[in-house]
Amino acid sequence: MYAGKSLGLVNAFLEAKKTSKKVVAIKPNIDNRYTANTITTHNKKEIPSEYVHVLSVYLSQEEWKDIDFGADVFLIDEAQFFKKNIVEFVCRLRNVGKEVHIAGLDMDYRGNPFGYMPELMTMANKVIKFEAQCAQCRLINATMTYRKAEINDDGQILVGGNETYESRCFNCWKP
């Protein structure tokens, strides 16, 4: 939360565009915090994106009609929300020489692995773990997500912003 994961994708988009690479940005349709057709940072920087329900190599052509598989670079935001099919999807993209950047939370608010992010991280050439400012002690070392106590939902997936979550360092975090 608030560490710059989506901003990393925005920067990758801008870098790819400088070198005339074709870019496709994708986000899950469960992430409805800003807009359906952009990846948007908390600071309101945006890039165009496709809004999809599932990433799978088994979808029909109609379901993929807006995805340009001729693109050089694929950016996937909030990857923790996609189902297991994302692993094979990313593997196939890499096998045909595509550059793939993925952003997402590796742990949920309880400190448990979140979705298929841990598996995707093992496939990566490079993993960058961003740190945010801890909402409690204010140090820039927060890698944990804290779900605010007044939120009455104990499911793993609850999409929200600063009204629901805080970034915390390990010392200030509690499950």
Catalytic residues: 78
d(CA 125, CA 108) in angstroms, rounded, equals 23
Host H or E run for residue 10? helix 5-18
The 3-state DSSP class for residue 18 equals helix
d(CA 80, CA 88) in angstroms, rounded, equals 14
| Nearest-10 Cα torsion for 71, 73, 75, 81 | 70
Which phi and psi (to 5°) does residue 17 adopt? -65, -35
d(CA 95, CA 48) in angstroms, rounded, equals 25
